[in-house]
Amino acid sequence: MADSPAKQINFTIVPDEPGPAGKGVRTYANFCAIAHSPFDLTITFCDVQPLTADDIRHAEATETVRAPIVARIAVPFTVVPGIINALTEHMRAMQAQTAPESSPSWPGPDKGSIN
């Protein structure tokens, strides 16, 4: 039996929504910390809540505020440029749809940080 030539298949990857009746699980985060190893990039997402009096006293003493981690995602460096490009494109599209006074300042990936 002769080997048949490899067949090329074109496809698009789409997220498969977990949960009941296709309702996806969404987790809110308003802070992220980024770290890396020689092998991957890790983004830790947190949900920072308003501080209590005890939190403020602890922050004054330790100069830190603890925030609960809601997700920690590790990705290989090969996907990082695609993530940066997608985030940049979505920020530009969001700014184009909103009034300048209501959108955050976004200088772009090579021009500094978000103000």
Cα 18 to its chain centre, rounded Å, is: 19
CA atoms within 13 A on the CB side of 53: 0
Q: Quick one: pLDDT band at residue 76, thresholds 50, 70, 90?
A: very high
pLDDT at 114: 44
Q: Which residue is it, tokens 């990936």?
A: 109
Closest CA to 94 of 107, 81, 80, 106: 106
- pLDDT tens digits, 28-74: 999 999 999 999 999 999 999 999 999 899 999 999 988 999 999 99
- pLDDT tens digits, 16-26: 777 666 566 78
In the chain, what are the domain boundaries? 28-102
3-state class of 18 per DSSP?
A: coil
- Mean pLDDT throughout 3-14? 81
- Mean pLDDT throughout 13-17? 74
Torsion from C-alpha of 95, 89, 29, 26, nearest 10 degrees: 110
Residue with more model confidence, 106 or 13: 13
